[in-house]
Homo-oligomer: A and B are copies of this chain.
Amino acid sequence: MQIIQDISSTKSLCRSLKQEGTLGFVPTMGYLHEGHLSLVKQSVKENPNTIVSIFVNPSQFGQDEDLDTYPRDLERDVALLKECGVEYVFNPNAQTIYPSGFDTWVVPEKLASVLCGKSRPGHFRGVATVVLKLLNITNPDHMYMGIKDYQQLRILKQMASDLHLDCDIVACPIVREADGLAMSSRNSYLNPDERKRALSLYHGLLKARELYEQGERDCGQIIETIKSIIQESGGRIDYIECVDPLTLQSISEAKDDTRMMLAVYFGKTRLIDNMALKA
């Protein structure tokens, strides 16, 4: 296992790996769970070489967000990646990625003006910037991302198209705990009571699917149903919306590909989840 901190070594490593066939890339902020590992496993299966980045990206955290407390465990992450057959980890520090004089930001516009982009100003600017940097450093053929962060995925696919990147972005299914809670590094913040109550996200989404299956097409009604289930559990709703899967704009009449998107606080922990209306 090679853990590399600096950019030029990573660049030349990746250049030589690409001589052997396609290169897969999985960007992460570490503290890996089965969600991440599903991306890693898919990349290992589909490419002769895979590189994983572990970098808690400061520029995607807001001023009052959890940058300092974001969970970290490099040793455990490396062991998990080894088990998956990963041989290369890019683990730069913040100074390497944002040296003094850094001045160039990648800014998604409309797609970042809704949903999480509204609640977390600057978040997707940070995400898009660091991912473009990581892509330009590793230059992979395929990048693997989870549908859990649906808005992020949509923004990065648009970025790849807008900026003519050669990398194909592979969307991978949400991985859930046995009881249905979507996996997230932030789940570790939840106390046992919050953990139980957080299940209302999944239950709300499933109930909405059921309604749609029964013929409900009014997004207002669908949202109200999810809302009442989550509120009953004590969740503080940031947003619940039914959106077009490409533009992320709110829509009123539900269709098969309509995406239900939500962000909800339990205590201080903000969780997100999403699901297509049609199973």
Contacts and interface: CB of A to CB of B under 8 A. Distances in A.
Interface of A: 7, 11, 101-111, 128, 132-133, 136-137, 155, 158-159, 162-165, 246-247
A105 B104 contact: no
Given A101-B158, A158-B101, A164 B107 contact: no
A158 B107 contact: no
17 contacts: A11-B164, A102-B162, A103-B108, A103-B111, A103-B158, A103-B159, A104-B106, A104-B159, A104-B162, A104-B163, A105-B109, A106-B106, A106-B107, A133-B162, A133-B163, A136-B163, A136-B165
A247 B101 CA distance: 8
Contacts of A158: 101, 103-104
A90 to B, nearest CB: 12
A9 to B, nearest CB: 13
Contacts of A105: 106-109
A102 B111 CA distance: 10
A127 to B, nearest CB: 12
Contacts of A109: 103-105
A97 to B, nearest CB: 10
A155 B110 CA distance: 25
